Structure 1
Amino acid sequence: MKIRVFFILSFFLAALFASAQGKLTIVQGTMTKEKAQSIVIFDVMYGERIELASARLNKNQEFAFALPGIKSGFYYLSDQNRRSLARIYMKQGDKINIAIADDAYQLMQPTPENRILKEWVDLSYPVTQMSVFPRKDTATYTSFFPTLTAFLPKAEAFKKKIITSNASFNALMKKSIDAEIEHAALKFLYTPNSKHPAKEDFVPYYAGVYQPHKYADGAILNFAFGTDLVRLYTNYVFTRVKLPDPMVKLKLEDILPYFGNDTIRGIYVEGFMGSYKTLETFTAEIGPFKKYLVSDSMQARYFRMLKKVSSFKKGDMAYNFSYPDINGNTVTLASLKGKVVLVDVWATWCGPCRAQIPHLKKMEEELRDKDIAFVSISVDEEKDFEKWKAFVAKEELKGIQLYAKGWSDFSKYYDIRGIPRFLVFDQNGKIVTVDSPRPSQPELKELLLSTLNSKAAAGIAESK
């Protein structure tokens, strides 16, 4: 009884707290799945599930959430194993009561949107479940293709029934139906089967799957299977439609034009990154398409993969940064080839960074006749741009002053989390060290000169 009281009290305290933050969406119910210990609610972002909230079930296998600021759309509920998802539609102010069992769920007093959604889930189950792997039956294309063909008129008829007062839901649900059928049709093809169809075995539905500039409206990004659908569609295009030379490796420039949406191109680029083993090929082939990596998760994976193919050892190629200087001119590491490069990562708000400025100025003066480029990369945020410019002018900072608009790609690439940070690169743009001594330490000047002299000696030896 104490657990029950605590559960109810906790829920209503949470609701009371959250009510001050906006209109609440209430989700409560039971989960009677075997071995279920907790429940997880997933949102959808860029075609993938992301965890929104989780809670342990009480002794009666009950749960409750009070969610402020919910954006309208599809959400998914699962146990701690994050499989066998129940899909619901939520908008601000909804009150949803759901009972989730092992293979099904029921909604008590469902909203109009969820009544439609549940009808569709039940109607489409025979088709969608045939594409799930591992399968619970021995379905092959000889049974799936007729089932799919017979189902298509039912799906079209169902779309005509989607008439609620929520116009955005109506449009989203119709697009979801089309996407779910395509996902099931393609997933069936690309999961293990005991029998595989020949070209003449395909039913007419598949002839309409390929479309130039596919997914241009980006609607599939609202569905948890969106990213998987992008992968399946690409497989279909290049195994059933375009049939490229099997001896020639497909590149991103061959694939991306088939998508009509930049974010979806980014999803494909993200999935493609794992195929690279060297820094040179990764930067050459991924670099031109980095602009499509728009989400934080895409950017994070980009830098994880970049670090994976980079060891940061002495002699490895350095990251080719590209930032504007104080006059707006772009400076890259490649543009400084022929010079030893000292990079100082700093910010105007950083006390230890400012403490190094007098020592850096002194070193610049002592080495002004040497082929050494002193590059300062500011991680001041974009809102502080004018503050940075004023600081550079007031302190009469020399060298090459660059502005990175915060913790940008250079910092992420070298995993710089504390400043100041000093890095040294040689005349050919290769790493000497990514964590050098500071200007206040005599070892830095010695390192710069030894790098300069070693390359000069190597050049003399090569010329003889």
Structure 2
Amino acid sequence: MRIRVLFSVLYCFATVSVTAQGKLTLIQGTVKDERTQTIVLFDVQNGEKLELATARLNSQQQFAFALPNIHPGFYYVSNQGRRKFVRIYLKAGDKCQLALTDTGYELVQPTPENKLLKEWTDLSYPVTKMSVFPRNDTVTYASFFPTLTAFLPKADAFRKKVNTPNAAFNELMKKSIGLEIEHAALKFMYTPNTKHPAKDEIIPYYATIYQPNKFANAAVLHSGDGVDLIRLYTTYMYTMVKKPGAQRKLTLPEILLFFGNDTIKGVFVENQLAGYRSLETFNEEIEPVKKYLVTDTMQARYARALKRLSTYRKGDKAFNFSYPDSNGNAVSLASLKGKVVLVDVWATWCGPCKAELPHLKKLEEELHDKNIAFVSISVDEEKDKEKWKKFVADQQLGGIQLYAKGWSEFTKYYDIHGIPRFLVFDQDGKIVTVDSPRPSTPELKELLLNTLNAQH
């Protein structure tokens, strides 16, 4: 079991001593940015950065950590805002001194591992900088692709010079180099940009990313960006195997076929758990792959997700919202009892929400003679209330238009963080689903009619 709360020490702590706990590893440094008050140290666990310890800066902008019995590997240091991460390598008994600057970091009397790691960080910076968001508007594939292509032989040459006295670090570093290039390349491709390449403009490097039984070992999980790389690779593979015009998303068992390691499969499934919004979908999709959730951490996250979703089970009593319409008249879910209720959570500033409106109008027209209430709840802030009223009038929106004055109790109750979101309740005011299909798909109409027929 890893230590999650450790202690910071005064910067004047000058020696690493052997205690009853074993060797202490000391990380100390200075920070140039006077706005920074706290430094956070992150461990890597299953491909993610997890907070290990924090230290407040003293009056000289100095910090220090003393860590007993650490495992060897990568760690990350970050300021309180966590905008930038500095990666270091630590093993028991190491002393690491850093000077964090506006543009990066400097090392004082570095270990051989950290000296080499710093060389790699500086060498790869032009590529990694261009791959992150937000980025300069002039950075598009037209500039990134040549930079990446020119960098690849340099990376190969650097890999050959990895030869410190630490054999375990050498192996870790060599594997990390290829994975980090993949991460930068995929992150660039799947980050919003002003220009995106056509298929014939994509450089040959991307074809090398695909491998049968990808991540056949767990090396990717030794990086704090490991989970993000797995996610990006999944997106990349989906675009490769998706047939033109296909609407169906890949199932979890289909996605897991991309990977050649059960641990990686478990980590991927674990990181999908928080995204589910209905218990029915959660049970349907997770049950076939639940066998990969083998660690205590995975099973605990599964239990938390299951508990959260159990609040929204089909047949449970729904939250009785009550919000004013454009004329100031309150409408509640209880007042709509006897009708099947479709709720659309939206906002005037939401592009995907507005893209659904024509489909929603069409659905209302097709079902106008049915006992269905079409309710739209706006999460526009109070300052935009008049904008909302004007939009409703200008667009001649039908149904019941309600104003919730921002992210209200309704969105909090159903844990809604992204819109549009559609929910369906039956004629008795009970949950059918809190994450229904969208009007742009035929499944929603079928769901509404089936709900009506079920209660006849």
Q: Normalising TM by the smaller chain, what interval?
A: 0.5 to 0.7
Q: How many residues align?
A: 310
Q: How many Å apart are 1:296 and its aligned residue? A: 4.1
- Percentage of identical aligned residues: 61
CA contact (8 A) 2:141 2:196 kept: yes
CA contact (8 A) 2:75 2:89 kept: yes
User: Which structure 1 residue ranges, 5 or more long, are not aligned?
Assistant: 1-6, 317-464
Q: How many Å apart are 1:271 and its aligned residue? A: 3.0
Q: How many Å apart are 1:226 and its aligned residue? A: 0.3
Tell me the amino acid that sits aligned with residue 51 of structure 1: E
Cα distance change, pair 284–244 in 1 and its aligned pair in 2 (3 A): farther
> What is the match of residue 221 of structure 2?
221
> SS state of the match for residue 310, structure 1?
helix
CA contact (8 A) 2:11 2:28 kept: no
> SS state of the match for residue 50, structure 2?
strand
Q: How many Å apart are 1:279 and its aligned residue? A: 2.4
Tell me the amino acid that sits aligned with residue 57 of structure 1: L
Distance in 2 between residues matched to 1:312 and 1:184, nearest whole Å: 39
Deviation digits for residues 355-380 of structure 1, max 9, x if unmatched? xxxxxxxxxxxxxxxxxxxxxxxxxx
Cα distance change, pair 94–142 in 1 and its aligned pair in 2 (3 A): same
Report matched runs for 1:192-341 at 5 Å: 192-243=192-243, 246-311=246-311
> What is the match of residue 100 of structure 1?
100
CA contact (8 A) 2:252 2:285 kept: yes
Cα distance change, pair 282–94 in 1 and its aligned pair in 2 (3 A): same
Report matched runs for 1:368-407 at 5 Å: none
Tell me the amino acid that sits aligned with residue 201 of structure 2: D
Cα distance change, pair 244–226 in 1 and its aligned pair in 2 (3 A): farther
CA contact (8 A) 1:18 1:66 kept: no
CA contact (8 A) 2:16 2:23 kept: no
CA contact (8 A) 1:238 1:244 kept: no
Deviation digits for residues 222-242 of structure 1, max 9, x if unmatched? 001000001100000111355
Distance in 2 between residues matched to 1:10 and 1:253, nearest whole Å: 51
> What is the match of residue 26 of structure 1?
26
Cα distance change, pair 145–223 in 1 and its aligned pair in 2 (3 A): same
Cα distance change, pair 141–8 in 1 and its aligned pair in 2 (3 A): closer
Cα distance change, pair 144–243 in 1 and its aligned pair in 2 (3 A): farther
Tell me the amino acid that sits aligned with residue 253 of structure 2: E
Q: How many Å apart are 1:25 and its aligned residue? A: 0.8
Q: How many Å apart are 1:15 and its aligned residue? A: 7.7
> SS state of the match for residue 257, structure 2?
helix
> What is the match of residue 179 of structure 1?
179
Q: Does 1:57 align with 2:64?
A: no
CA contact (8 A) 2:46 2:227 kept: yes
The CA RMSD measured in Å over matched residues stands at 2.5
Q: How many Å apart are 1:306 and its aligned residue? A: 1.4
Q: How many Å apart are 1:275 and its aligned residue? A: 4.6
Deviation digits for residues 161-194 of structure 1, max 9, x if unmatched? 1011111100100111101100000000000111
Q: How many Å apart are 1:46 and its aligned residue? A: 0.5
Report matched runs for 1:29-44 at 5 Å: 29-44=29-44
Distance in 2 between residues matched to 1:273 and 1:286, nearest whole Å: 8
CA contact (8 A) 2:238 2:250 kept: no
**Structure with greater helix share of residues:** 1
> What is the match of residue 121 of structure 2?
121
Distance in 1 between residues matched to 2:265 and 2:8, nearest whole Å: 46
Q: How many Å apart are 1:90 and its aligned residue? A: 0.4
Q: How many Å apart are 1:245 and its aligned residue? A: 5.7
Deviation digits for residues 208-231 of structure 1, max 9, x if unmatched? 111111111110100010000011
CA contact (8 A) 1:84 1:103 kept: no
> What is the match of residue 109 of structure 2?
109
CA contact (8 A) 2:89 2:113 kept: yes
More moved, 266-275 vs 166-175: 266-275
Q: How many Å apart are 1:102 and its aligned residue? A: 1.8
Distance in 2 between residues matched to 1:275 and 1:41, nearest whole Å: 27
Deviation digits for residues 407-439 of structure 1, max 9, x if unmatched? xxxxxxxxxxxxxxxxxxxxxxxxxxxxxxxxx
CA contact (8 A) 1:11 1:66 kept: no
Distance in 1 between residues matched to 2:119 and 2:270, nearest whole Å: 35
Structure whose alpha-carbon radius of gyration is higher: 1
Cα distance change, pair 180–60 in 1 and its aligned pair in 2 (3 A): same
Cα distance change, pair 16–232 in 1 and its aligned pair in 2 (3 A): closer
Distance in 2 between residues matched to 1:301 and 1:173, nearest whole Å: 30
Cα distance change, pair 93–197 in 1 and its aligned pair in 2 (3 A): same
> SS state of the match for residue 309, structure 1?
helix
Tell me the amino acid that sits aligned with residue 45 of structure 1: Q
Q: How many Å apart are 1:302 and its aligned residue? A: 1.7
